[in-house]
A and B are shown apart, each in its own frame.
Chain A
Amino acid sequence: ILNVEQSPQSLHVQEGDSTNFTCSFPSSNFYALHWYRWETAKSPEALFVMTLNGDEKKKGRISATLNTKEGYSYLYIKGSQPEDSATYLCASPYNTDKLIFGTGTRLQVFP
C-alpha cells in the first residue's frame, strides 16, 4: 500500500501569518494528488485535485503546487484567519480505485 506522509503534524500560527505544509508521496505510478480540508464534526471537503507535474491551483487565499518527479505537494495559506483552523489532508490513489490519505496537518490560527 502507498505511503502518503504529511508534515508537520500540527501548526499554530497567529492571524495574518502565512503558512505552508507538505505532502510526500511515491513518485512512481503517480495518478493524482488530492487536498481536503476537514473541520471537526464536519465532512472533509475537497480543496484541490492535481494530476500534472507543475500543476498549481488556487482558491482564495489557499494555493497548492505539485511536483510529481520528486513526489511532493505544498499547500500554502496566505494571511491565515481563525476560520482556516482545520485539519488539511492530502491523498493519492493507490492502483486506480483506492484513495490513500496521509495523517493530516492540524492548523490552529489564533486571533
Chain B
Amino acid sequence: NAGVTQTPKFRVLKTGQSMTLLCAQDMNHEYMYWYRQDPGMGLRLIHYSVGEGTTAKGEVPDGYNVSRLKKQNFLLGLESAAPSQTSVYFCASSYLPVYSGNTIYFGEGSWLTVV
C-alpha cells in the first residue's frame, strides 16, 4: 500500500525554468492538497482539490498552477521558477473534507531548490 507518493523527491532548477511535481494516491481519496514548508512558517496551503476536475486556491497560490485530471493524481506546476519558491513541498490527501474530523495523509515531501 503506497499511500501518497510524490515525484521527484529532489530537484534543482534555474530561475525561469518550469517544472511539474506529481502527487499520486492509491487510497481513492476525493480531496488532495499541496503545501509548502519553509523554516519558521509551518505548512502553508498552496492549492487544493475537492474532486476530479476541480481545483481551488489556498493561502499562497501565486506562481503555481495545479491540475486534477484524474482522481488519483494532483499535479503542481511552476511555470517560471523563482528563488522564493525554494521550499519543501508536501502533497496530502483525505477521503472526507477536513471539517468532518477526517485526518489527511501526507507524502514524503519534494525538496526543490531554485538557483
Contact = CB atoms under 8 A, between A and B. Distances in A.
A102 B37 CA distance: 11
A99 B59 CA distance: 10
Q: How large is the interface on B (under 10, 10 to 19, 20 to 34, 35 or more residues)?
A: 20 to 34
Interface string A16-57: 000000000000000110100000011111100111000000
Contacts, number: 69
Interface residues of A, number: 26
Interface of B is mostly: mixed
Contact of B98 (A34, A50, A104): A34
B48 A98 contact: yes
Contact of A93 (B42, B43, B98): B98
Interface of B: 4, 31, 33, 35, 40-45, 48, 50, 56, 58-59, 90, 97-109
Interface of A: 1, 31-32, 34, 41-46, 49-51, 89, 91, 93, 95-104
Given A34-B103, A43-B4, 9 more contacts: A31-B99, A32-B100, A43-B109, A44-B90, A49-B102, A97-B31, A98-B48, A98-B98, A100-B45
